[in-house]
Amino acid sequence: MTSTETRTMSLTLRIWRQRDATKKGKMVTYHVTDVSPDMSFLEMLDVLNEKLILDGDDPVAFDHDCREGICGSCGLMINGIAHGPEQATVCQLHMRSFSDGDVLDIEPWRSGGFPVVKDLAVDRSAFDRIISAGGFISVPTGTAPDAHAVPVPKKDSDAAFDAATCIGCGACVAACPNGSAMLFTAAKVAHLGLLPQGQPERDARVLKMVGQQDAEDFGGCSNIGECSAVCPKGISMETISRLNHDLLGALRAGAVPTS
Amino acid sequence: MPLELFTVGEPIADTKAPRDVPIKDRWNERRFRARLVNPANRRRLSVIVVGTGLAGGSAAATLAEAGYRVKNFWFQDSPRRAHSVAAQGGINAAKNYRNDGDSVHRLFYDTVKGGDFRSREDNVHRLAEVSTAIIDQCVAQGVPFAREYGGLLDNRSFGGAQVSRTFYARGQTGQQLLYGAYQALERQIGLGNVEQHPRTEMLDLIVVDGRARGIVVRHLITGEITSHMADVVVLASGGYSNVFYLSTNAKGSNVTAAWRAHKRGALFANPCYTQIHPTCIPVSGDYQSKLTLMSESLRNDGRVWVPKERGDTRDPREIPEDERDYYLERIYPAFGNLVPRDIASRQAKNVCDEGRGVGPNGLGVYLDFSDSIQRLGRKAIEAKYGNLFDMYNRITGEDAYETGMRIYPAVHYTMGGLWVDYDLQSTIPGLFVIGEANFSDHGANRLGASALMQGLADGYFVLPNTINDYLADGPFEKVDATHPAVVEAEQAVKTQTEKLLSINGTRTVASFHRELGKLMWDLCGMERSEESLRKALDRIPEIRQEFWTNVKVSGEQGIFNQNLEHAGRVADFIELAELMCVDALHRNESCGGHFRAESQTPEGEALRDDENFAYVAAWEYTPENVPPVLHREALEYEYVHLAQRSYK
């Protein structure tokens, strides 16, 4: 019943090292031994970092926080795949997914929209700016009617929930050959657009969010689908269809985003 | 109690709750008596908010909506990542949508009782009152709570409650509530009403003429240390479970902001009140960096058991019914698997101490869903808990639909925190503390689904009303960077940072953190005794001494240096740990999550001592080697009569 096995692994890691946004980076090779299959990928990096610190070397910087797959802080390219092979955040990826002797290339998210901060950490503030542009329902505290004032059909509520689970990790952008943030933007457009509360601002929202996305250094969406394939929350391509539907509707209606 | 551990100072009391009116009218009355700030004047008043979780995010957004100039600071890259995001189970509200006898008074009563009569009645009653408005607010923001086919909101019973008052969004309630607050905050950022400071850590509080006027921060990318001023400072910096190293908190969660405020004079209340959550995934190895919670909503459909025989290592599916001990159902027939967290946790420890624990190291019990799957079908269980089963599978490699889960208690929440009055103001005028960072609402044990309620109550509805009364005296005299208090605080931060980098010893920060955490878990965890606590108090100063002479912190100050961040946090955890042990030692009673071996009933249940300990222990900071000063706030129970908790 227990998955604890005694076998341990030795791995070769080739990790992107970059001192800060202004310096050039390069891949550096490290060897790790005694890796337990029950370790998470980040715990494996913790062990490497403790060794680097004791050796007087600079530990590898990477963003992480909750380590239970929900905060969206962590994210790495592992052998070219965003978050690695399991379609889960790297904190939820365990070393049992790898084999003794594997060589792993570990890189930060690769996108013009996400400049490198240091090593494997990147700046994803563009995502916050997209939300800030319109990813909300305007309801100042205290103005809300009773929660049961507007029933929401369960299927709409469930679909909205599915879109709302996006954790803003950025894997979609990293995986996209165009570096597009469309899945991220679409998830929020779909979440709020599916709910009755989200209707009054629906046209303006999609215009403003797409406008902000275009203003950042993201590429355009050409419906390749790599984004959804790596999304740890399984946000579906259908959200992008919804966004396009809403965008066309808003443009046809001649809606003008107001600030 | 030997005197050298602490000294006793003046008693302390809340003076803001209007006790001359009945409890149900006090919040209304307080709002009426509190002075207001003219909307036109609010633009001239600035507020610093530290943190963007449910409390900080909702407060920053709401204060900005009200017209104040808000400066918001957080250490993650985005406000959406605050650890509230990880709360799974739900949020309580006295809506009585189920017509099952719930009311504001019942939620108040349950929360005071659940807190084992160590919380303040006035604050808890207000919490229950505003609970309903929170749900309205969140639904209006688009929070996708679970709904029924008729389109109305679903509710469930949760964490020991006998009414169904918990609203939830699958197993991701905290995430969805946080995104509601985050989106409201981002809207205010977009409108220019909130100045944002991401990746910025508060390292000191600036107090000028007795008022909190600003903070010293380090920018985590550039290493730059700067000061920021305002008319008032709000801490929403969360709890301190990571003093135990292994906890369900995020790796970055820390006590530093609260602790530095404590060192500047804010009293720290009930530090030993920590909550041990019964349903976490057991530890698998030494490299383990954190523990993962499985929402206790699972206890609604799962049955907890261990083998009757010690050392039974058979596959759980091969252990027949009559060789299983469903110990919670056996000991607590009325509540069964739904007993409050502290009781479920302690009983899990007891059966494991008896040698009946399961899993690789014997520190685990089964949470078994086979009955529910048989009764409701696997699909129904998947719909309710699918993400939790998936998470369990990813971490352990096991299919819990088949084998059940193995669970073990882990530190999850801290009820203690900075002392605040009814207005949520600390003992430093102008320093308000909200959410988990304060102490007031959960007593010695927090009921399930009430942390989210408290965070949002404080941020959306309480603080935005009470802070006006303080700000009505403002704007305060301008303080600039050359003020001696600012220069001194900034210099203190720089000195500590330089010191940490210069020691260059032989042990890593993480090794100190692990040692401290294990010591706290073993000696000041689920069960404590005078002996264990004295042992801890002997050892902690040694750890502190060794830390400051032998830690090895890598890198430099002027870059993104996560090791340096961790070092500063661990330094504070070491100091906090000592105060926690003093607090635990002086409180010679069992209450809530704090089980004192010397204080138990003949049946081994926790035994409170109301005669001697019905008070809040608010501690005053003293320099190293000077014992801390205890200020007592007497707790009076006018409406909920003191009674020994019984869940049998």
* A59: CATH: 3.10.20.30
Q: Hey, which residues 569-608 in chain B have their CB within 8 Å of chain A?
A: none
Q: Is the pLDDT of residue A1 over 50?
A: no
Whether residues A43 and B81 touch (CB distance < 8 A) is answered with no
| Alpha carbons A1 and B366: distance in angstroms, whole number | 12
B613: helix, strand or coil = helix
- Given a contact cutoff of 8 angstroms between Cβ atoms, the answer to whether B593 and B444 are in contact is yes
| pLDDT tens string A134-184 | 999 999 999 999 999 999 999 999 999 999 999 999 999 999 999 999 999
Cβ-Cβ contacts under 8 Å, A86 against chain B: 394
In a domain, residue A257? The reply is no
Confirm or reject contact between B361 and chain A (CB < 8 A). Answer: no
> Do the domain assignments include residue A152?
yes
Inspect the interface and report whether the beta carbons of A69 and B391 lie closer than 8 Å.
Answer: yes
Is residue B423 pLDDT above 60, yes or no? yes
CB distance B239 to B294 below 8 Å: no
Asked whether residue B2 carries a pLDDT value surpassing 60, the answer given is no
In the predicted model, what is the mean pLDDT of residues B351-357? 94
pLDDT digits (tens, 9 = 90+) for B509-560: 999 999 999 999 999 998 999 999 999 999 999 999 999 999 999 999 999 9
Inter-chain CB proximity A148 and B394 less than 8 Å: no
Q: Where are the domains of chain B?
A: 277-412, 484-605
**Residue A223 is part of a domain; what is its CATH number?**
1.10.1060.10
Beta bridge partners of B206: B214
The number of distinct structural domains making up chain A is: 2
Summarize chain A as % helix, strand, coil (round to 5): 35, 15, 50
Residue B179: closest C-alpha in chain A: A164
Is A258 domain-assigned?
no
Say yes or no: B318 contacts chain A, CB-CB below 8 A: no
Q: Is the peptide bond before B541 cis (omega within 30 degrees of 0)?
A: no
Domain boundary among A66, A84, A118: A118
Contact B157, B300 (CB under 8 A): yes
B:481-510 residues touching chain A, CB 8 A cutoff: 506, 508, 510
In eight-state DSSP terms, residue B355 is: T
In whole angstroms, what is the distance from residue A36 CA to residue B397 CA? 13
pLDDT band at B160 (very low <50, low <70, confident <90, very high): low
Mean pLDDT of all residues in B132-151? 97
Which amino acid, residue B587? Answer: R
Q: Is the pLDDT of residue A49 over 50?
A: yes
Partner residues linked to B595 by β-bridges: B527
- Residues A46, A94 share a domain: yes
Rounded CA gap, B459 and B578, in Å?
Answer: 30
pLDDT of residue A258: 55
- To the nearest whole angstrom, how far is the Cα of B100 from the nearest Cα of chain A? 17
Q: Which residues of chain A neighbour B95 with C-beta distances below 8 Å? A: 147
For the residues A88-114, what does the mean pLDDT come to? 96
Residue to mutate among A64, A70, A169, A208, with most B CBs inside 10 A, is A70
Residue B619 pLDDT: 98
B290 touches chain A (CB under 8 A): yes
**Is residue A195 one of the residues assigned to a domain?**
yes
Among A118, A149, A172, residue at a domain's last position: A118
For residue B88, what pLDDT is reported?
Answer: 87
Which of A89, A118, A147 is the last residue before a domain boundary?
A: A118
The lowest-confidence range among B79-93, B153-167, B478-492 is: B153-167
Determine the distance in angstroms separating the CA of B276 from the nearest CA of chain A, rounded to an integer.
Answer: 18
The three-state (H, E, C) secondary structure of B526-558, written as one string: CEECHHHHHHHHHHHHHHHHHHHHHEECCCCCC
CB contact under 8 A, A40 and B190: no
pLDDT attached to residue B341: 83
| Structure token digits, residue B70 | 């808000």
Both A114 and A171 in one domain: the answer is no
Q: Work out the percent of chain B whose per-residue pLDDT is above 70.
A: 99
CB contact under 8 A, A136 and B186: yes
Average pLDDT over residues B424-446: 96
User: Please, which residues bridge with residue B54 across strands?
Assistant: none
Mean pLDDT of B195-200: 98
B315 chain-A contacts, CB cut-off 8 A = 1
Q: Best interface-test mutation with A: which of B74, B80, B389 has the largest number of A CBs within 10 A? A: B80
**Inter-chain residue contact A154 with B147, CB threshold 8 Å:** yes
Q: How far apart are CA A49 and CA A59, in angstroms?
A: 5
Active-site residues of B, by number, are: 341
Q: For residues A174 and B374, give the distance between their C-alpha atoms in angstroms, rounded to a whole number.
A: 43
Q: Which residues pair with B234 in a beta bridge?
A: B49, B432
Question: Is the Cβ–Cβ distance between A22 and A113 less than 8 Å?
Answer: no
Domain shared by A152 and A108, yes or no:
no
Domain residue limits at A193: 124-252
Same domain, A100 and A145: no
What's the pTM value of the predicted model, to 2 decimals? Answer: 0.96
How many C-beta atoms surround the C-beta of residue B371 within 10 A?
A: 11
Q: Are strands B200-208 and B211-219 parallel, antiparallel or unpaired?
A: antiparallel
Residue A202 and residue A187 share a domain: yes
User: For helices A182-193 and A125-134, what crossing angle results, to 10°?
Assistant: 30
Name which of B140, B250, B394 is nearest A145 (Cβ-Cβ).
Answer: B140
Q: Would residue A3 count as lying in a domain?
A: no
For domain B484-605, say whether CATH 3.30.70.1880 is its number: no
Residue B646 pLDDT more than 80?
no
**Nearest chain B Cα to A133, which residue?**
B190
Question: B624 or A169, which is more confident?
Answer: A169
CATH of B277-412, one of 3.20.20.70, 3.40.50.450, 1.10.645.10, 3.90.700.10: 3.90.700.10
Q: Does B287 touch chain A (CB under 8 A)?
A: yes
Q: Say if the Cβ atoms of B508 and A121 lie within 8 Å.
A: no
Residues A129 and A243 both lie in one domain: yes
Closest residue of chain B to A136, computed from CA coordinates: B183
Query: CA B454, CA B202: separation in Å to the nearest integer?
Result: 23
* E strands in B146-219: 166-167, 194-197, 200-208, 211-219
Say whether A54 and B151 touch across the interface (CB within 8 A).
Answer: no
**CA separation for the pair A42, B116 (Å, rounded):** 39
Same domain for A150 and A78: no
Confirm if B118 and B273 have CB atoms less than 8 A apart.
Answer: yes
Q: How confident is the model at residue B268 (pLDDT cuts 50, 70, 90)?
A: very high
- Contact flag A46-B510 (C-beta cutoff 8 Å): yes
Q: Is a pLDDT exceeding 50 seen at residue A2?
A: no
Q: Which of residues 152-181 of B touch A (CB under 8 A)?
A: 152-153, 169-170, 172, 175-176, 179
B3 in reach of chain A (CB within 8 A): no
Contact A53 B552 (CB under 8 A): yes
Same domain, residue pair A88 and A161:
no
Closest CA to A94 of B635, B209, B473, B281: B281
> What rounded mean pLDDT belongs to chain B?
95
Q: For residue range B240-250, what is the model confidence (pLDDT) as tens digits?
A: 999 999 999 99
Print burial letters for B493-531: b (CB count within 10 Å at least 16), e (below 16): beeebeebbebeeebbbbbbbbbbbebbbebbbbbbbee
Of A178, A165, A11, A184, the C-alpha closest to A98 is A11
Question: What is the total residue count of chain B?
Answer: 648
Q: How many Å lie between the alpha carbon of A110 and the closest alpha carbon of chain B?
A: 17
CA distance B49 to B607: 40
Contact B183 A137 (CB under 8 A): yes
**Same-domain check for residues A136 and A101:** no
Mean pLDDT value across residues B163-186: 96
List the single residue in B170, B179, B563 with the smallest CB-CB distance to A53: B563
CB contacts, 8 Å: B360 with chain A:
2, 4
Beta-carbon separation of B86 and A70 below 8 A: yes
For residue A109, being part of any structural domain is answered with yes
The per-residue pLDDT for B1 is 44
Name the residue with tokens 């001192």: A19
Determine the residue of chain B that is closest to A62 in CA distance.
B562
What values do phi and psi take at B532, rounded to 5?
-65, -40
**Is 60 exceeded by the pLDDT of residue A4?**
no
Please give the backbone phi and psi of residue B405, each rounded to the nearest 5 degrees, phi first.
-105, 155
Contact B634, B566 (CB under 8 A): no
| pLDDT winner (highest mean) among B92-96, B333-337, B443-447 | B92-96
Query: Are A102 and A141 contained in the same domain?
Result: no
- With respect to residue A4, please indicate whether it lies within any of the assigned structural domains: no
Establish if A46 belongs to a structural domain.
yes
Measured at the CA of B452, the angle between CA B259 and CA B645, to 5 degrees, comes to 90
CB contact burial B594-610 (16+ within 10 A = b; e otherwise): bbbeebeeeeebbbbeb
Mean pLDDT calculated for residue range B466-478 = 97
Q: B394 at the A interface (CB within 8 A)?
A: yes
**Count, residues in chain A:** 259
Residue type, B474: G
The whole-number average pLDDT for the span A79-91 is 97
* Closest to A190 (Cα-Cα) out of A228, A219, A224: A228
Counting one residue from chain A and one from chain B, the pairs whose CB atoms sit within 8 A come to: 235
Give the minimum alpha-carbon distance from A241 to chain B in angstroms, rounded to a whole number: 20
Cβ contacts of A128 on chain B, cutoff 8 Å: 78-80, 186, 189, 198
CA distance B57 to B69: 14
**Residue B172 with chain A: CB contacts under 8 Å:** 70, 165
Residues A21 and A85 in one domain: yes
For helices B509-523 and B562-586, the axis angle rounded to 10 degrees is 20
Token pair for B142:
């688009």
Say yes or no: B23 contacts chain A, CB-CB below 8 A.
no
Report the C-alpha gap between B421 and B433 in whole angstroms: 10
Q: How far apart are CA A34 and CA A245, in angstroms?
A: 52
Residue, of B575 and B156, whose pLDDT is higher: B575
> Distance between CA atoms of B617 and B119, rounded to whole angstroms?
11
Residues of B in contact with A72 (CB under 8 A): 78, 80-81, 85
User: What value does the mean pLDDT take over residues B197-217?
Assistant: 98
Pairwise CA distance, residues B457 & A92, whole Å: 32
- Find tokens 């979440």 and name the residue: A191
pLDDT in tens, B26-45: 999 999 999 999 999 999 99
Q: Indicate whether A85 and A198 sit together in one domain.
A: no
